[in-house]
């Protein structure tokens, strides 16, 4: 289990050092990470790491939830030493209580952890802790041991170690690099020793961002109680992430340096929490029943969130008229809430009212053109309405905001296919497969695209060049995979 903890930065270790005055400066520990990890290599490594994560984990593809976790993370980054740096936050659909940071500012939060939090400040505490590992360069000190590897294989190794991958090509490739894994393991203890620094800096980020800094020790305290409740049947997370009284006290001491504030809860946190909760209930009818009982009994933190959860479950049950009634009620008081607008547009589209759905989404996009959720909903609705040109135009504009979302390329491929642009469709589908880590499928799509007669010389040359890059990457992976440890 030790390998799984390289960068799972939540609650990893405990120290008994006295609480110093709040200070975000770290001493010079004499590491060479800064000289070995150039910004470009870190960006490239981050993208390759994310492809490996998508191969190994159930990265959530829900645009509304993705929008929320990205906005929360960005708010924290903007109030940290990393202000102005690109970070990518994402959810992994897995019940385990965990989180991790990877190269290039890629930070993953497991849905099990999200659902364990009781307030947005607690969730923000976890994310701020991960950001602190990045700003304090704790992670670079571990990654420097991969400096002699190519970017694809360094990313595979890191992903396999971080995620504890035990099956599939990534694990085989990671095993093939032999001693590199042992070198990274040596860095794990160093990272654990710096958990107190991530706690302290994370608390500072929380306070600066307008969250309640005591949320971090509050979350620690509940984890400690779980330790006592589970006893011999301790869940894996609690066995590998010790939460002790001393660590909780240390975090509380740091948080007490800030004045207490009554932090208003962001509606979007409650909407995302309820969305995840209703998703966990397989039968939508059961989800409706459970949420309705919560509403009747007053067992909720936010009434609008429970009504929203009921509407989502009704959509899953294909009872669109009932869902529309709930959503219209919500939109009366909160007409600009993205979650409600996207869900209502979904109901319109399912009922064949495409014009109403597109108008609703278009108005919202005029206010927030960079919203991933709104752009995806608009493109999917336009495609369903038989208007691939509008979908293509919207998606191309959105790429100015985010250019590495797999779902965007999948929709671009559909739009191109509907417009009879077959070569372009296969090109976009290739990028989709590449981003989700399916390298062989990405190569196959480019090979198909190059056989299309409509390609001109310049486009053909670009595709040939891209195909050569992907083939080289595949060859390198396969050489490592077949090598002996």
- Considering the domain boundaries, does residue 471 fall inside one? no
Q: Which domain-ending residue is among 211, 230, 255?
A: 255
Residues 405, 427: Cα–Cα separation, whole Å = 15
CB 359 within 8 A of CB 344: no
Our answer to whether residue 418 is catalytic in this structure is no
Per-residue pLDDT, averaged over 177-191, amounts to 52
Per-residue pLDDT, averaged over 401-410, amounts to 93
Q: Which domain-ending residue is among 351, 386, 417?
A: 351
Q: What is the pLDDT of residues 103-126, one digit of tens each?
A: 889 999 999 999 999 999 999 999
- Considering the domain boundaries, does residue 403 fall inside one? no
First-to-final CA distance of the chain:
20
For helices 195-208 and 179-193, the axis angle rounded to 10 degrees is 60
Of residues 261 and 484, more confidence is placed in 261
Domain shared by 229 and 148, yes or no? yes
Confidence of residue 77 (pLDDT cuts 50, 70, 90): very high
Per-residue pLDDT, averaged over 153-160, amounts to 77
Look at residue 476 and tell me whether its pLDDT is greater than 90: no
Q: What is the pTM of this model?
A: 0.86
Domain shared by 248 and 303, yes or no? no
Of residues 185 and 119, more confidence is placed in 119
Domain shared by 341 and 236, yes or no? no
Domain shared by 314 and 180, yes or no? no
Per-residue pLDDT, averaged over 55-63, amounts to 93
Domain shared by 90 and 171, yes or no? yes
Domain shared by 136 and 220, yes or no? yes
Look at residue 264 and tell me whether its pLDDT is greater than 90: no
Domain shared by 189 and 310, yes or no? no
CATH of the domain at 282: 1.25.40
Confidence of residue 180 (pLDDT cuts 50, 70, 90): low
Q: Residue length, the chain?
A: 485
Q: Which domain-ending residue is among 255, 274, 298?
A: 255
Q: What is the pLDDT of residues 360-399, one digit of tens each?
A: 999 999 999 999 999 999 999 999 999 999 999 999 999 9
The percentage of residues in the chain with a pLDDT greater than 90, rounded to a whole number, is 61
**What integer pLDDT is reported at residue 191 of this predicted model?**
53
Question: How many domains, the chain?
Answer: 2
- Considering the domain boundaries, does residue 294 fall inside one? yes
Domain shared by 274 and 232, yes or no? no
**What integer pLDDT is reported at residue 197 of this predicted model?**
85
Domain encompassing residue 289: 265-351
Domain shared by 60 and 149, yes or no? yes
By CB atoms closer than 10 A (0-12, 13-18, 19+), residue 297 is exposed
Per-residue pLDDT, averaged over 202-228, amounts to 85
> Residue 201, Cβ neighbours under 10 Å: how many?
27
**What integer pLDDT is reported at residue 313 of this predicted model?**
98
Q: 3-state class of 13 per DSSP? A: coil
Domain shared by 40 and 113, yes or no? yes
Catalytic hit among 42, 122, 130, 348: 130
**What integer pLDDT is reported at residue 91 of this predicted model?**
98
What is the per-residue burial (b if ≥16 Cβ within 10 Å, else e) of 357-383? bbebbbebbeeeeebbbbbbbbbbbbb
Q: What is the pLDDT of residues 134-143, one digit of tens each?
A: 888 777 666 6
Domain shared by 91 and 193, yes or no? yes
Q: Is the dihedral of CA 449, 453, 454, 459 positive or negative?
A: positive
Per-residue pLDDT, averaged over 337-351, amounts to 98
Domain shared by 155 and 293, yes or no? no
Look at residue 207 and tell me whether its pLDDT is greater than 70: yes
Look at residue 61 and tell me whether its pLDDT is greater than 70: yes
- Considering the domain boundaries, does residue 446 fall inside one? no
Our answer to whether residue 250 is catalytic in this structure is no
The CA-atom distances, in angstroms, between 247 and each of 196, 236, 250 are 8, 19, 5
The residues that bridge with 463 in the sheet, in sequence order, are none
99-102 vs 106-110, strand pairing mode:
antiparallel
Catalytic hit among 199, 204, 339, 473: 199
- E strand spans, 375-475: none
Residues 302, 280: Cα–Cα separation, whole Å = 19
């Amino acid at each position: 289990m030790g390998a799984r903890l390289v960068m799972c930065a939540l609650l990893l270790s405990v120290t008994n050092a006295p609480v110093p005055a709040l200070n975000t400066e770290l001493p010079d520990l004499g590491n060479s990470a800064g000289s070995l990890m150039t910004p470009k290599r870190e960006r490239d490594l981050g993208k390759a790491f994310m492809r490996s994560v998508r191969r190994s984990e159930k990265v959530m593809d829900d645009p509304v939830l993705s929008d929320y976790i990205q906005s929360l993370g960005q708010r924290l980054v903007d109030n940290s030493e990393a202000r102005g740096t690109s970070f990518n936050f994402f959810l992994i659909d897995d019940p385990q209580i965990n989180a991790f940071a990877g190269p290039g500012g890629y930070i993953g939060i497991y849905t099990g952890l999200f659902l364990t939090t009781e307030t947005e400040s607690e969730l923000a505490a976890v994310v701020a802790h991960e950001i602190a590992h990045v700003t304090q360069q704790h992670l670079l000190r571990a990654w420097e041991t991969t400096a002699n590897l190519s970017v694809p294989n360094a990313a595979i190794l890191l992903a396999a170690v971080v995620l504890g991958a035990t099956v599939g090509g990534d694990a085989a490739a990671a095993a093939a690099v032999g001693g590199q894994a042992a070198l990274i393991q040596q860095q794990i203890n160093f990272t654990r020793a710096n958990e107190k620094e991530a706690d302290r800096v994370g608390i500072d980020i929380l306070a600066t961002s307008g969250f309640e800094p005591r949320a971090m020790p509050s979350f620690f305290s509940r984890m400690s109680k779980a330790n006592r409740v589970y006893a011999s049947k301790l869940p894996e997370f609690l066995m590998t992430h010790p939460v002790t009284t001393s660590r909780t006290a240390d975090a509380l001491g740091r948080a007490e340096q800030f004045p207490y504030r009554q932090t208003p809860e962001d509606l979007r946190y409650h909407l995302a929490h309820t969305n995840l909760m209703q998703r966990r209930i397989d039968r939508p009818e059961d989800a409706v029943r459970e949420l309705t009982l919560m509403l009747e009994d007053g067992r909720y933190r936010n009434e609008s969130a429970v009504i929203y959860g009921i509407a989502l479950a009704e959509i899953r049950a294909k009872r669109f008229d009932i869902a529309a009634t709930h959503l219209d009620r919500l939109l009366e008081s909160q007409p600009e809430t993205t979650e409600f607008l996207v869900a209502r547009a979904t109901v319109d589209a399912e009922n064949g009212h495409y014009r109403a759905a597109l108008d609703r989404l278009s108005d919202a996009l005029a206010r927030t053109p960079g919203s991933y959720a709104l752009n995806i909903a608009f493109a999917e609705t336009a495609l369903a309405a038989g208007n691939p040109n509008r979908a293509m135009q919207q998606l191309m504009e959105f790429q100015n905001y985010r250019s590495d979302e797999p779902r965007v390329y999948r929709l671009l491929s559909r739009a191109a296919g509907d417009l009879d642009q077959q070569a372009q469709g296969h090109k976009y589908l290739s990028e989709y497969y590449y981003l989700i880590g399916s390298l062989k499928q990405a190569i196959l799509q480019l090979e198909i695209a190059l056989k299309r007669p409509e390609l001109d010389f310049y486009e053909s040359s670009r595709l040939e060049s891209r195909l050569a890059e992907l083939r080289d990457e595949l060859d390198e992976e396969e050489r490592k995979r077949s090598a002996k440890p």
